[in-house]
Amino acid sequence: MTTILMYDGSFNGFLSAVFIKYEYKMQQVRIRKAAFTSKNLFDSIEEVITNDKKAERVWLKLKQKCSSKGLSFLYKAYLSEIIGGEDLMLKFIEIALQSEKCIASDYSSPVVLKLSQIAKKIHREKHRMEAFVRFKQTKDNIYFATISPDYNVLPLICSHFEKRYADQKWIIYDEKRNYGLYYNGNHVIIVKIDFKKDALSSQNKALFYTRDESDFQVLWKSYFKMTNIVSRKNTKLHLQHVPKRYWKYLTEKELY
């Protein structure tokens, strides 16, 4: 019988489940988020309470056994939100703890190879979000941007925007996961906002954004229109660098 360790979905929750597995010497274990766990006749389910101290002990042990690349693989696999990704992460941890040397570069291992491929996808999404975020100035003098990335990359892009826009308050809000990053001028905090229906629609822009914001958007669109060289247009190449699913974030794309 397999024991399913059900956690709250946080990274520390996952590490707490790993701690429980080793503390009780469990053999057949799967780790699942509570939202994706369902009962069946053959498996037993145990709820894991997130314990930051236990999570820290697991992380410190992994630091002794893995390079920063290996730790990055694990964290990015967690952020990928792939269903069943915990199985890969747990297998990686089991191999890492048994190995005499770091396994992060051992691509002959299917587990390491798969995790590295997932990490590559997350890194690509992070890079695109850093490039495609477009802030708009609200009447509260906070620069606001919405995104809905394929993967949960907000924790990865936080440092980039904190350094780049340290002189102004801003919010980057993930509409898909309903949480955001708010930089208050000193540090970043996690926020959740209960938006009313259609609050961010184009019809309600005037309620939230400054008049200057509208003028700057017109200037920005004009800039792109004037710098566009129609005879050198290469739509196929353009779509490779700026996939269509990101156009909704880009002010300049409202031209098309």
Percentage of residues in the chain with pLDDT exceeding 70? Answer: 95
pTM: 0.85
**pLDDT grade, residue 255 (50/70/90)?**
low
Residue 127 has pLDDT above 60, yes or no: yes
* Nearest alpha-carbon partner for 172 in 158, 152, 156, 151: 158
pLDDT of residue 218: 87
User: 93: number of CA atoms within 13 Å, CB side?
Assistant: 26
Bigger pLDDT: 196 or 237? 237
Q: What is the mean pLDDT of residues 225-235?
A: 86
Q: What is the pLDDT of residues 54-97, one digit of tens each?
A: 999 999 999 999 999 999 999 999 999 998 899 999 999 999 99
List the beta strands (DSSP E) in the chain.
Answer: 3-7, 29-33, 44-47, 136-137, 143-147, 170-174, 179-183, 188-191
pLDDT of residue 186: 94
Bigger pLDDT: 135 or 195? 135
pLDDT of residue 229: 86
Residues 109, 152 contacting (CB under 8 angstroms): no
Q: What is the mean pLDDT of residues 114-142?
A: 94
